[in-house]
Each structure stands twice: as C-alpha cells, then as structure tokens.
Amino acid sequence: MDPARWELEIERIFRRVPLVLGLAAELSDLNTYRALTVAGTPILIIRANDGVVRAFLNTCRHRGSRIVDDGHGTKRRFTCPYHAWTYSTEGKLVGVTDRSLFGELADDCAGLVELPCTERAGLIFSNVMPDVEPHFDEFLCGYDEMLGHLGLADSYLVGQQSIPGPGWKIVYDGYLDLYHIPYLHRESFGPDWCNRGIYDAWGPHQRVSPLDHRFLQLDGVPEEEWETDQLLGGLWTIFPNVSIASFDCDGPLYMVSQLFPGNGPFESVTTQSFLTKEPVDANRMSLIEQRMEFLLGVVRDEDYRTCEGIQQSLRSNPARSALFGRNEIGGQRFHQWVDALVEADDMSGYRDLLSEMTTTFPE
C-alpha cells in the first residue's frame, strides 16, 4: 500500500516485462487498431495493411500530442489532431502540414516510436518502453505453446466490458485463489465448487486447475485417450495481470481479463473480453450477453467489493500483512515474483531472473 513501493512496481514490472496489450480477435481485420494507456504510457496497436501487428507510442513526433483516443477502430491513416501530421498503419510519417515551410526533419522523426511486439497464441504481447529488450521467449518460458491449445488465435470477439477496482495486487490475488469460491460466490456460482486445485507454473505464469468433475472423469482412463478439451479447463494466468477463464454458454465462451493499475496504488481497471470459437447467431448472442451481465455482477459486486474492504483494512493499519496458507500456492508464487522483480534494480538483474525461469508441475 506504500506509494513508493507502487512506483517501483510500475517501473520494474509494468514498464519492464512484456504485457498482453491486445487480442488477435480485437484486430482481426487489416487497418484495425486498439489504443490504450498502460502505466501512464499511451499505446497504439495496429494490424497494418501487410497483416503484421505493430505497437507504437500513441504520441506525435512533433509535439507529443496523443494521436488517437483510447478505444478501437479502423483507419488507413492516423492524423494528429494538433497540427495534422499523418502516419501510416506501419507507423511511417507520410504527411507534414506545410512541409515546405516547416524545415528539415531529422531521420529519427521519420515515424512513430515503435515498441517491441509479438503475436503469440492469439495474444498480442508488447513492452511499453521502446528501449527495453523484450526477451519474449525467456519471459514466456514455453507457456505460449500451451496457451495455443485454447484456440484464441482463431476466435471471435463477441463483447467487452470494463470494471474499476482497488489496487492491482489485491485484485489479482483473487484470480489466483480457489479457496474463496464456494463461500464468497455461494449465491452466484454455488457452494459445490471445489476450492482446491493444482498450480502448474511456467516461470511466473500459472495455470490453476480445480479438482473438479473433469479430472475425476479421467481416473482410470489411459492418458492417450484423454480429450484435449478435458485438459484445457481451469484458469490460465499470465503474469503480471491477465487471467483466461472458460465457461459453457451453448459452447465454449472464453473470458480474458486484463487488469491494469490506475493512476495510484489504490485503483485499477479490468477489461473483460469475451471470445467464441465460431461466429454466433442472435440466439446465442442473447445467452452470451446474459452471461456477461452475470460475470460483471460477480466480479464487481462480490470479488472487487470484497477487495475494497481488504484495501481499506490495510490502509487503516499499514503494519498489517496478509497470510497465505500452504495450499494457496498461486498467491505465494505471484508475490514471490513481484518481490523478485522489484528487487532487480537494473536490467542485468532482470535478465538474471529470466535466465532462472523454470516450469513446475506438481506430482
């Protein structure tokens, strides 16, 4: 809850590690874009006319004006609202107002500042700082290969909604926690949900698998006969701020939650994106909208309201600490990685952490 500590988390985590800043399904067509603000940095992600997804600082090279407001859209050209400098979908400067009167431009003003970016398993990863080496492969630790089995690369975006919340770590703890489900959510999900699970890890990323009926159905079945869909359940979390959950809604419905810190240590905002494996008709869309409204209420009125109370308690007594039980592996591992990254005060220390990443699968 310390503002100075929060600043370090922003600087050494959100401005250093690759983040999921978009979904392939959001940019399914050429010349589509998503603009968002992350850790105080305006970002513009574009699927250009050549089909490649690129990420840029959403600031004009002239005076630094924001080129486009946060949101989604389709554009073949991006024109700064201040002096009408224009950029292509590849980020190249293609128009300067009254060019003959403006004067010469240095070569490094030839386009938008590009950020490291890669598209993996239907997710768009990028750094928010242009001068940080991304180390995508080391950071993902092979996790993107597992995520590929979810089929998000070929999915369809059917809805999005946003939820304000308290501080990012308090909120994200809940995504890694099964212990609370049959109690906090007894009136929504019901009291019969299993609150114990298996925590597999690829470096800082975790798959949380409840010990539910899908696992029990595999008892005694030879591994070569296991169905892929039976192995894809649970929660797939991507450090430091993403969770992927699936629900049955007349077919699989994926909810990708992206949680970003707000303007200070006591606020955050979560974007929920909903995806299907095929286009949906009006009847199924009606069911999906009902499920979206249900999940919005569960997260906002149950999870985040509880987190607000936790935050208030911690703010009133800064000396108080949280306790994680021996089976709350997800929270333990998450905070260990947060602490380790904050303690890595330079890029050398960060690279050392990447080199030590391993996979962990309980027996």
Share of the chain above pLDDT 70, in %: 96
pLDDT in tens, 251-310: 999 999 999 999 999 999 999 999 999 999 999 999 999 999 999 999 999 999 999 999
> H or E segment at 238?
strand 235-238
What pLDDT sits at residue 101? 81
pLDDT in tens, 17-28: 999 999 999 999
Buried b (16+ CB within 10 A) or exposed e, 234-272: bbbbbbbbbbbbbeebeebbbbbbbbbbeeebbebbbeb
Per-residue confidence at 67, pLDDT binned at 50, 70, 90? very high
Per-residue confidence at 232, pLDDT binned at 50, 70, 90? confident
* Pair type for strands 86-88 and 252-261: unpaired
Residue 124's nearest CA partner among 39, 46, 72, 58 is 46
| Structural domains in the chain plus CATH codes | 19-134 (2.102.10.10), 143-360 (3.90.380.10)
**Least confident piece of the model among 75-79, 80-84, 331-335, 354-358:** 354-358
Residues 6+ apart with CB under 8 A from 360: 199, 200, 201
Helix (H, G, I), strand (E, B) or coil at 78: strand
pLDDT in tens, 313-346: 988 987 677 888 888 899 999 999 999 999 998 8
**CA atoms lying within 13 Å on the CB side of residue 140:** 22
Supply angle C-alpha 121, 123, 127, rounded to 5: 125
The model carries a pTM of 0.94
| C-beta pairs of 179-187 under 8 Å, 24+ apart in sequence | 179/325, 179/327, 179/328, 184/302, 184/303, 184/306, 185/298, 185/302
Question: How far is it, in rounded angstroms, from Cα 21 to Cα 240?
Answer: 12
**Least confident piece of the model among 7-16, 61-70, 228-237, 323-332:** 228-237
pLDDT in tens, 184-195: 999 998 777 778
What pLDDT sits at residue 20? 99
